[in-house]
């Protein structure tokens, strides 16, 4: 459920690749647009990873050793069953209402609940909710002065309007939200709708992906825990399948990409300027100080969670895989 459905189907298949492809196409003629700059860290290498990973997983059957203890045909059938019977609605993936839609009380997602071992705190949701709220602040900081606030009127920007229309068309989870939850995501893009949609996409494609995307680590690196890797006679570990999986994952599945806490490059915030002639041309991208400050403030608050909040500071063997300093910005593995 975690690795095959949440990770592969929801994030890779339904959200990440469409988000990247639509964004790259929509801003192809205007790559310096402020919204394109905001989205830049969160679309890195998504399509590249999806295309290569799916060939490895389903053409070469690596999925049987790293996604779920089911044959490939059954895994694909399970994915199809979820797409048809439990279709995604992006509005219901919003951490602000995520618990409510699962009949969980908000009291379980508080700092007091997750810090007290005598209480049943929902640590995963508490962490994701706090990070989503940081994204909400980041979007306000970087885009708030650019567009009219709230839901009263549509954003009057042709590039953003076309991007939004393409997102609604090519991302079924967003399309469903605009039809079933128009107060959350309107048909015509407003700043309120834009911010709600982006905060959900960003938290799922970075923070939550780190949780669900690495849930398979024990399967990949230790075949003792992989039911499909047990030989018929029950003795030993099949060396060929083990070597194949480790080499594939270490070689081109786990791609290098930016982490949220890395020093951010200037091209995420500034406009490129070039001088000189042809092959002797020199280009620089000085950062817009205000935009960069918005991001570094976001980083500082996230770091404070990692330093001071038990739910965030416990990681690896003592908690979730997603330690604050290693969470990557985008989906690629």
The pLDDT assigned to 162 comes to 97
- Class of the CATH domain delimited by 2-326: mainly alpha
Q: 170: which 2 tokens?
A: 């090519």
Judged by DSSP in three states, 137 sits in helix
Cα radius of gyration (the chain): 21
Annotated domain spans of the chain: 2-326
- Report d(CA 11, CA 310) in Å as an integer: 27
| Phi and psi angles of residue 274, each rounded to the nearest 5 degrees, phi first | -125, 150
Residue 47: DSSP 8-state: H
For 70, residues 6+ apart whose C-beta sits below 8 A from its C-beta are 4, 64, 78, 228
The pLDDT assigned to 285 comes to 66
For 64, residues 6+ apart whose C-beta sits below 8 A from its C-beta are 70, 71, 72, 75, 228
Residue 66, Ramachandran bin (φ over 0: left; ψ between -120 and 50: alpha; else beta): alpha
The pLDDT assigned to 222 comes to 65
The owner of tokens 């994204």 is 135
Is there a contact between 151 and 190 (Cβ–Cβ < 8 Å)? Answer: yes
DSSP 263-274: PPPGGGTS--EE
The pLDDT assigned to 184 comes to 97
Q: Which residues of the chain have pLDDT under 70?
A: 46-50, 215-229, 249-255, 272-273, 275-285, 287, 332-333
The pLDDT assigned to 215 comes to 67
pLDDT tens figures, 104-144: 999 999 999 999 988 889 999 999 999 999 999 999 999 98
The pLDDT assigned to 66 comes to 76
Is there a contact between 22 and 170 (Cβ–Cβ < 8 Å)? Answer: yes
First to last CA, the chain: 17
């Amino acid at each position: 459920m975690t690795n095959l459905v949440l990770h592969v189907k929801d994030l890779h298949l339904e959200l990440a690749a469409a988000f990247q492809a639509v964004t790259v196409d929509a801003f192809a003629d205007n790559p310096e647009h402020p919204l394109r700059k905001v989205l830049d860290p969160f679309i890195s290498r998504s399509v590249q990873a999806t295309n290569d990973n799916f060939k490895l997983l389903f053409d070469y059957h690596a999925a049987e050793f790293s996604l779920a203890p089911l044959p490939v045909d059954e895994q694909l059938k399970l994915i199809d069953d979820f797409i048809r019977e439990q279709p995604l609605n992006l509005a219901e993936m919003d951490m602000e209402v995520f618990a409510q839609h699962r009949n969980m009380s908000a009291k379980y997602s508080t700092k007091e609940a997750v810090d007290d071992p005598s209480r049943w705190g929902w640590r995963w949701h508490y962490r994701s909710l706090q990070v989503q709220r940081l994204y909400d602040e980041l979007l306000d900081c970087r885009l708030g002065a650019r567009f009219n606030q709230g839901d009263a009127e549509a954003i009057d920007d042709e590039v953003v309007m076309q991007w939004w229309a393409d997102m609604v068309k090519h991302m079924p989870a967003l399309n469903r939200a605009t039809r079933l939850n128009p107060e959350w995501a309107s048909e015509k893009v407003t700043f309120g709708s834009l911010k709600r949609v982006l905060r959900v996409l960003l938290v799922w494609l970075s923070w939550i992906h780190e949780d669900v995307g690495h849930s398979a680590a024990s399967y990949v690196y230790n075949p003792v825990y992989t039911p499909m890797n047990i030989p018929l006679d029950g003795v030993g570990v099949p060396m060929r399948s083990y070597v194949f999986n480790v080499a594939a994952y270490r070689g081109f599945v786990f791609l290098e990409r930016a982490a949220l806490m890395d020093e951010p490059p200037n091209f995420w915030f500034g406009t490129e300027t070039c001088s000189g002639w042809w092959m002797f041309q020199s280009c620089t991208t000085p950062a817009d100080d205000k935009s960069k400050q918005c991001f570094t403030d976001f980083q500082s608050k996230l770091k404070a969670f990692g330093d001071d909040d038990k739910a965030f500071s416990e990681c690896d063997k003592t908690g979730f895989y997603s330690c604050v300093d290693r969470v990557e910005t985008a989906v690629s593995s």
